[in-house]
Each structure stands twice: as C-alpha cells, then as structure tokens.
Amino acid sequence: TPSRLARIAAIETARGAKADAVLRLMSLCILISEDAERLRQELRLSNAEAERMIRAARLLETLHGGETPPGEQDGLALLFEHGRQACLDALTLAQAESHNAAGDAGWMAAHKFMREAAEPQLPFTGADLIAQGVTPGPQMGQILKALQADWIRAGFPRDPAALNRLLKKATGDS
C-alpha cells in the first residue's frame, strides 16, 4: 500500500540505509506469498528477486499485526528457518505495518540483531546418528527432525555437553 511504502522509506531513513527497490516494491504489492508468485510472472522478475520476495512474504504472513518485534530467541528461530534476507525484509515490512515510529528502539534493535546474529546451523548430521547406532533409513530422518526441534526448543545450544544430551535423548540412549 502507498502508506506502507512511505513508512518503509521513513524506516530506511531512520536506519541510515539506502533505498532498497525490491523492498519498496514488496511494500506496495505483497501481503501474502501468492502476491510474490504473481509478481514473478507479471514483472518477469529475476529468480533471485522472486525468491527473495517469496521467502519474505512467507515469513511476513506470520508477523502481520505485530506491534512488537520478535525477541532474540524467536529471532534465532526465524533466522534458522527463513535465512537472514527474508528476516530483514519481513521485519522491516512488519515494522511498517505497526503503529510504531520509524526509529522505534525495539524495532531498531531487532533489525540490528537480525543483521548481525550468526545464523544457527544444525550441529547434527546423519553421521552423528549412525555413530549412536541409528540405522540409515526413514527412521533416521524422523529422529533428525525431532532432534532439530529439541535443539531449537533448547535455545540453539552450542555447548558440547548440551548437544550430547540432546543427541542421546533423540536416539533413546538416556
């Protein structure tokens, strides 16, 4: 919407950021991921531009209507699931939809966190499960998925002892 575009421009100014044409186009045309798909076709966007818009739109669908940005723990989960660019885009669009000032400290801090935080990388692989005696096959994928969910719930620990506990729990070797 035009008002969201004006808010995006004000947010970019408050952050001292350059105007981002793709983000501004998103502010005018995208509310849900299907909007991004339509734009891909209508405007003949590059694959990279279209993928950026689609990923941001998917995340934005979960952030619509929020007056406060996600906290750091939720931010890490979003980074893990959606990647940095989608998080930055969706966060900016969500801020533009909120009733907060362009330079709101909470939104500025959340954007800085999303920009600077290390993207979490799952510290487990199938090889780790095999080392714990899990036989390769469909069950391994299920265990790895459960292990990933436990790792996220535990707050993305990096400590080897915590990782080992999660691995043992997932493989039934308490």
pLDDT tens digits for range 7-49: 999 999 999 999 999 999 999 999 888 999 899 889 988 999 9
pTM of the model: 0.84
Q: What is the pLDDT of residues 104-127, one digit of tens each?
A: 999 999 999 999 999 999 999 989
Q: Where are the alpha helices (DSSP H) in the chain?
A: 2-15, 21-29, 33-43, 47-63, 72-82, 84-97, 105-116, 126-131, 138-153, 160-170
Give the Cα separation of 173 and 128 in Å (integer): 13
Q: Which has more confidence, 1 or 121? A: 121
List Cβ neighbours of 1 (8 Å cut-off, separation of 6 or more).
Answer: 27, 28
